[in-house]
Chains A and B, each alone.
Chain A
Amino acid sequence: MNRDEIFAKIQGVLVEALGVDDDEVTLEASLAGDLGAESIDFLDIVFQLEQAFGFQIGQGELFPENVTQDPDFVQDGLVTAKGLVMLKERLPHIDFSALEADPQITRVAQVFTVDALVNFCERKLAG
Protein backbone atom coordinates (compact mmCIF):
# COMPACT_ATOMS: atom_id res chain seq x y z
CA MET A 1 0.00 0.00 0.00
CA ASN A 2 1.53 3.32 -1.01
CA ARG A 3 1.37 6.58 0.91
CA ASP A 4 -1.55 7.96 -1.14
CA GLU A 5 -3.60 4.83 -0.47
CA ILE A 6 -2.78 5.04 3.23
CA PHE A 7 -3.85 8.70 3.26
CA ALA A 8 -7.14 7.84 1.51
CA LYS A 9 -7.96 5.22 4.15
CA ILE A 10 -7.08 7.60 6.98
CA GLN A 11 -9.22 10.27 5.37
CA GLY A 12 -12.16 7.86 5.48
CA VAL A 13 -11.48 7.04 9.13
CA LEU A 14 -11.36 10.71 10.14
CA VAL A 15 -14.50 11.61 8.17
CA GLU A 16 -16.29 8.81 10.00
CA ALA A 17 -14.83 9.43 13.46
CA LEU A 18 -14.90 13.24 13.51
CA GLY A 19 -17.79 14.06 11.19
CA VAL A 20 -15.63 16.31 9.00
CA ASP A 21 -15.65 16.69 5.21
CA ASP A 22 -13.11 14.99 2.94
CA ASP A 23 -11.49 18.25 1.92
CA GLU A 24 -10.86 19.26 5.53
CA VAL A 25 -8.61 16.23 6.00
CA THR A 26 -5.28 17.48 4.66
CA LEU A 27 -1.84 16.21 5.66
CA GLU A 28 -1.15 19.43 7.56
CA ALA A 29 -4.43 19.42 9.51
CA SER A 30 -4.06 18.85 13.25
CA LEU A 31 -6.57 16.43 14.75
CA ALA A 32 -7.58 18.61 17.68
CA GLY A 33 -6.99 22.13 16.37
CA ASP A 34 -8.23 21.83 12.80
CA LEU A 35 -10.51 18.79 12.83
CA GLY A 36 -12.05 19.29 16.27
CA ALA A 37 -11.02 15.96 17.79
CA GLU A 38 -11.72 15.64 21.51
CA SER A 39 -9.93 13.29 23.89
CA ILE A 40 -12.35 10.37 23.42
CA ASP A 41 -12.09 10.69 19.63
CA PHE A 42 -8.50 9.47 19.88
CA LEU A 43 -9.69 6.09 21.16
CA ASP A 44 -12.26 5.97 18.34
CA ILE A 45 -9.51 6.78 15.80
CA VAL A 46 -7.28 4.02 17.21
CA PHE A 47 -10.12 1.48 16.95
CA GLN A 48 -11.01 2.55 13.42
CA LEU A 49 -7.38 2.48 12.23
CA GLU A 50 -7.02 -1.05 13.60
CA GLN A 51 -10.07 -2.12 11.61
CA ALA A 52 -9.11 -0.26 8.45
CA PHE A 53 -5.52 -1.54 8.32
CA GLY A 54 -5.79 -4.84 10.18
CA PHE A 55 -3.03 -4.22 12.71
CA GLN A 56 -3.05 -3.79 16.48
CA ILE A 57 -2.06 -0.51 18.11
CA GLY A 58 -0.56 -0.77 21.57
CA GLN A 59 -1.40 1.56 24.43
CA GLY A 60 0.56 4.80 24.03
CA GLU A 61 1.97 3.71 20.68
CA LEU A 62 0.14 6.24 18.51
CA PHE A 63 -0.55 9.06 20.99
CA PRO A 64 1.42 9.79 24.18
CA GLU A 65 -0.13 9.03 27.55
CA ASN A 66 0.22 10.56 30.99
CA VAL A 67 2.93 12.96 29.83
CA THR A 68 1.45 16.06 31.38
CA GLN A 69 1.30 14.51 34.87
CA ASP A 70 5.00 13.68 34.99
CA PRO A 71 7.08 16.53 36.47
CA ASP A 72 10.14 15.15 34.68
CA PHE A 73 8.46 15.85 31.38
CA VAL A 74 6.46 19.02 32.09
CA GLN A 75 7.45 21.90 34.34
CA ASP A 76 5.79 25.32 34.62
CA GLY A 77 3.59 24.63 31.63
CA LEU A 78 6.52 23.77 29.37
CA VAL A 79 7.64 20.42 28.00
CA THR A 80 11.14 19.81 29.35
CA ALA A 81 14.14 18.80 27.26
CA LYS A 82 13.84 15.34 28.82
CA GLY A 83 10.18 15.27 27.87
CA LEU A 84 10.96 16.14 24.27
CA VAL A 85 13.59 13.39 24.08
CA MET A 86 11.07 10.90 25.47
CA LEU A 87 8.36 11.99 23.04
CA LYS A 88 10.68 11.74 20.04
CA GLU A 89 11.85 8.29 21.11
CA ARG A 90 8.40 6.89 21.79
CA LEU A 91 6.63 8.56 18.87
CA PRO A 92 8.99 8.65 15.88
CA HIS A 93 6.08 9.17 13.48
CA ILE A 94 5.43 12.67 14.83
CA ASP A 95 7.31 15.82 13.81
CA PHE A 96 8.06 17.64 17.07
CA SER A 97 10.03 20.53 15.57
CA ALA A 98 7.23 23.06 16.24
CA LEU A 99 7.09 21.93 19.87
CA GLU A 100 10.86 22.19 20.18
CA ALA A 101 10.64 25.81 18.99
CA ASP A 102 7.82 26.60 21.42
CA PRO A 103 7.49 23.89 24.11
CA GLN A 104 4.29 25.13 25.75
CA ILE A 105 2.27 22.12 26.87
CA THR A 106 -0.83 23.63 25.29
CA ARG A 107 0.84 23.21 21.90
CA VAL A 108 1.33 19.45 22.22
CA ALA A 109 -2.05 18.71 20.62
CA GLN A 110 -1.02 20.63 17.49
CA VAL A 111 1.72 18.15 16.58
CA PHE A 112 -0.86 15.35 16.14
CA THR A 113 -1.49 15.90 12.46
CA VAL A 114 -2.94 13.77 9.69
CA ASP A 115 0.62 13.49 8.36
CA ALA A 116 1.66 11.89 11.68
CA LEU A 117 -1.10 9.29 11.25
CA VAL A 118 0.08 8.52 7.72
CA ASN A 119 3.67 8.17 8.98
CA PHE A 120 2.51 5.86 11.76
CA CYS A 121 0.50 3.60 9.47
CA GLU A 122 3.27 3.51 6.89
CA ARG A 123 5.73 2.34 9.58
CA LYS A 124 3.30 -0.24 10.96
CA LEU A 125 2.58 -1.70 7.53
CA ALA A 126 6.30 -1.85 6.75
CA GLY A 127 6.68 -3.96 9.89
Chain B
Amino acid sequence: MRWMWIDRVVELVAGERLVAVKNVSLAEDYLHEHFAEVRDEAGVVVRTALPVMPGALILEGMAQAAGILVGHAEGFAEKVILAKVTRARLDREALPGMTLRYTAELVQQSPQGASTKGRVELFDHGDADAGWVEIGQIDLIFSHLDQNMAGAEFPEHNFVFSESFRTLLRTSGIACDF
Protein backbone atom coordinates (compact mmCIF):
# COMPACT_ATOMS: atom_id res chain seq x y z
CA MET B 1 0.00 0.00 0.00
CA ARG B 2 1.24 3.44 -0.86
CA TRP B 3 0.99 6.30 1.62
CA MET B 4 -1.01 8.90 -0.26
CA TRP B 5 -0.05 12.54 0.24
CA ILE B 6 -2.92 14.09 -1.67
CA ASP B 7 -6.56 13.78 -0.67
CA ARG B 8 -8.33 14.60 -3.90
CA VAL B 9 -7.73 15.66 -7.46
CA VAL B 10 -9.92 18.72 -7.98
CA GLU B 11 -9.04 19.53 -11.59
CA LEU B 12 -7.52 17.56 -14.43
CA VAL B 13 -6.90 18.84 -17.94
CA ALA B 14 -5.46 15.84 -19.78
CA GLY B 15 -1.85 16.31 -20.77
CA GLU B 16 -1.77 19.86 -19.41
CA ARG B 17 -2.56 20.43 -15.76
CA LEU B 18 -3.64 18.71 -12.56
CA VAL B 19 -4.72 20.38 -9.33
CA ALA B 20 -4.89 18.41 -6.07
CA VAL B 21 -5.49 19.26 -2.43
CA LYS B 22 -4.12 17.88 0.81
CA ASN B 23 -5.62 18.64 4.22
CA VAL B 24 -2.98 18.67 6.95
CA SER B 25 -4.55 16.87 9.90
CA LEU B 26 -3.39 16.56 13.48
CA ALA B 27 -4.69 12.98 13.30
CA GLU B 28 -1.63 12.10 11.18
CA ASP B 29 1.03 10.40 13.28
CA TYR B 30 4.04 12.08 11.69
CA LEU B 31 2.93 15.50 12.98
CA HIS B 32 3.44 14.30 16.54
CA GLU B 33 7.09 13.63 15.82
CA HIS B 34 8.02 16.58 13.63
CA PHE B 35 8.17 19.93 15.38
CA ALA B 36 9.88 23.10 14.22
CA GLU B 37 10.52 26.38 15.98
CA VAL B 38 11.17 29.70 14.26
CA ARG B 39 14.22 31.80 15.11
CA ASP B 40 15.21 35.26 13.91
CA GLU B 41 18.57 36.07 12.33
CA ALA B 42 20.13 36.48 15.78
CA GLY B 43 19.03 32.97 16.73
CA VAL B 44 16.34 34.10 19.16
CA VAL B 45 13.22 31.92 19.22
CA VAL B 46 10.31 33.98 17.89
CA ARG B 47 7.83 31.12 17.73
CA THR B 48 7.79 28.11 19.92
CA ALA B 49 8.04 24.66 18.35
CA LEU B 50 4.85 23.53 16.59
CA PRO B 51 4.00 20.43 14.59
CA VAL B 52 4.66 21.10 10.89
CA MET B 53 4.36 18.97 7.79
CA PRO B 54 7.90 18.04 6.66
CA GLY B 55 9.00 19.64 3.39
CA ALA B 56 9.94 16.21 2.03
CA LEU B 57 6.30 15.10 2.37
CA ILE B 58 5.06 18.25 0.63
CA LEU B 59 7.47 17.35 -2.15
CA GLU B 60 6.06 13.81 -2.23
CA GLY B 61 2.56 15.30 -2.53
CA MET B 62 3.63 17.25 -5.59
CA ALA B 63 5.33 14.13 -6.98
CA GLN B 64 2.08 12.17 -6.62
CA ALA B 65 0.01 14.96 -8.21
CA ALA B 66 2.42 15.46 -11.09
CA GLY B 67 2.94 11.70 -11.46
CA ILE B 68 -0.80 11.18 -11.95
CA LEU B 69 -0.83 13.96 -14.55
CA VAL B 70 1.99 12.25 -16.46
CA GLY B 71 0.51 8.78 -16.07
CA HIS B 72 -2.97 9.90 -17.12
CA ALA B 73 -1.58 11.52 -20.28
CA GLU B 74 -0.27 8.08 -21.27
CA GLY B 75 -3.35 6.07 -20.30
CA PHE B 76 -1.44 4.78 -17.27
CA ALA B 77 0.50 2.48 -19.58
CA GLU B 78 3.90 3.56 -18.26
CA LYS B 79 5.46 3.01 -14.86
CA VAL B 80 6.04 6.63 -13.96
CA ILE B 81 8.60 7.16 -11.23
CA LEU B 82 10.09 10.32 -9.76
CA ALA B 83 13.63 10.60 -11.10
CA LYS B 84 14.87 14.07 -10.28
CA VAL B 85 13.87 17.16 -8.35
CA THR B 86 15.07 19.91 -10.64
CA ARG B 87 13.91 22.77 -8.43
CA ALA B 88 12.26 22.97 -5.03
CA ARG B 89 11.47 26.03 -2.95
CA LEU B 90 9.21 26.23 0.07
CA ASP B 91 8.82 29.56 1.87
CA ARG B 92 6.35 28.72 4.57
CA GLU B 93 5.36 25.87 6.84
CA ALA B 94 2.13 23.91 6.66
CA LEU B 95 0.53 23.34 10.07
CA PRO B 96 -2.42 21.18 11.14
CA GLY B 97 -5.72 22.62 9.98
CA MET B 98 -4.24 24.13 6.85
CA THR B 99 -4.85 22.92 3.31
CA LEU B 100 -2.21 22.53 0.62
CA ARG B 101 -3.01 22.89 -3.06
CA TYR B 102 -0.69 21.43 -5.67
CA THR B 103 -0.87 22.62 -9.28
CA ALA B 104 1.26 20.53 -11.61
CA GLU B 105 1.78 21.42 -15.28
CA LEU B 106 3.20 19.10 -17.89
CA VAL B 107 6.15 20.80 -19.60
CA GLN B 108 7.71 18.07 -21.73
CA GLN B 109 6.99 14.46 -22.46
CA SER B 110 8.95 11.85 -24.39
CA PRO B 111 8.99 8.04 -24.60
CA GLN B 112 11.57 8.06 -21.80
CA GLY B 113 9.90 10.38 -19.34
CA ALA B 114 8.41 13.77 -18.61
CA SER B 115 9.13 17.06 -16.88
CA THR B 116 6.65 19.05 -14.83
CA LYS B 117 6.45 22.44 -13.16
CA GLY B 118 4.55 22.79 -9.93
CA ARG B 119 3.15 25.46 -7.67
CA VAL B 120 2.37 24.87 -3.99
CA GLU B 121 -0.27 27.03 -2.32
CA LEU B 122 -1.55 27.15 1.23
CA PHE B 123 -4.97 27.97 2.64
CA ASP B 124 -4.89 28.88 6.32
CA HIS B 125 -8.37 28.28 7.71
CA GLY B 126 -7.45 30.56 10.59
CA ASP B 127 -6.89 33.40 8.13
CA ALA B 128 -9.43 32.64 5.44
CA ASP B 129 -9.49 36.22 4.15
CA ALA B 130 -5.94 35.75 2.86
CA GLY B 131 -7.20 33.07 0.47
CA TRP B 132 -4.74 30.78 -1.30
CA VAL B 133 -1.17 31.92 -0.81
CA GLU B 134 1.71 30.59 -2.92
CA ILE B 135 4.37 29.09 -0.66
CA GLY B 136 6.66 27.35 -3.12
CA GLN B 137 7.56 25.81 -6.44
CA ILE B 138 8.58 22.24 -7.16
CA ASP B 139 9.75 21.16 -10.62
CA LEU B 140 10.26 17.47 -11.31
CA ILE B 141 11.45 14.94 -13.86
CA PHE B 142 9.81 11.55 -14.16
CA SER B 143 11.23 8.47 -15.82
CA HIS B 144 9.34 5.70 -17.55
CA LEU B 145 10.80 2.69 -15.83
CA ASP B 146 10.49 0.31 -18.78
CA GLN B 147 12.17 2.81 -21.14
CA ASN B 148 15.24 3.33 -19.00
CA MET B 149 18.49 3.65 -20.90
CA ALA B 150 20.16 0.81 -18.99
CA GLY B 151 17.70 -1.69 -20.48
CA ALA B 152 16.83 -3.18 -17.07
CA GLU B 153 13.57 -5.15 -16.88
CA PHE B 154 10.80 -4.78 -14.30
CA PRO B 155 7.56 -6.65 -13.47
CA GLU B 156 4.92 -6.41 -16.19
CA HIS B 157 2.07 -5.12 -14.02
CA ASN B 158 2.00 -1.41 -13.27
CA PHE B 159 2.97 -1.42 -9.60
CA VAL B 160 3.32 2.38 -9.59
CA PHE B 161 -0.36 3.19 -10.08
CA SER B 162 -1.49 0.79 -7.41
CA GLU B 163 -4.86 0.35 -5.72
CA SER B 164 -4.18 3.40 -3.51
CA PHE B 165 -3.85 5.57 -6.60
CA ARG B 166 -6.88 4.01 -8.26
CA THR B 167 -8.95 4.70 -5.14
CA LEU B 168 -7.84 8.33 -5.21
CA LEU B 169 -8.73 8.63 -8.89
CA ARG B 170 -12.17 7.07 -8.37
CA THR B 171 -13.00 9.31 -5.40
CA SER B 172 -11.91 12.28 -7.54
CA GLY B 173 -14.32 11.25 -10.29
CA ILE B 174 -11.59 10.31 -12.77
CA ALA B 175 -12.19 7.31 -15.03
CA CYS B 176 -9.99 4.49 -13.85
CA ASP B 177 -10.28 1.22 -15.77
CA PHE B 178 -6.72 -0.04 -15.76
Interface residues of A (CB under 8 A from B): 17, 39-44, 46-47, 50-51, 59, 63, 65-66, 68-69
Contacts and interface: CB of A to CB of B under 8 A. Distances in A.
Interface stretch (B9-17, B58-66, B104-112): B104-112
A40 B108 contact: no
A43 B86 contact: no
By secondary structure, the B interface counts as strand
Nearest to A69: B151
Contacts of B112: 43, 46, 59
Nearest to A60: B149
9 contacts: A40-B143, A42-B149, A44-B84, A47-B110, A59-B110, A59-B112, A63-B149, A68-B151, A69-B151
B115 interface: yes
B149 A65 contact: yes
A44 B115 CA distance: 8
Contacts of B141: 40, 43-44, 47
A122 to B, nearest CB: 22
A13 B107 CA distance: 16
Contact of B86 (A39, A44, A66): A44
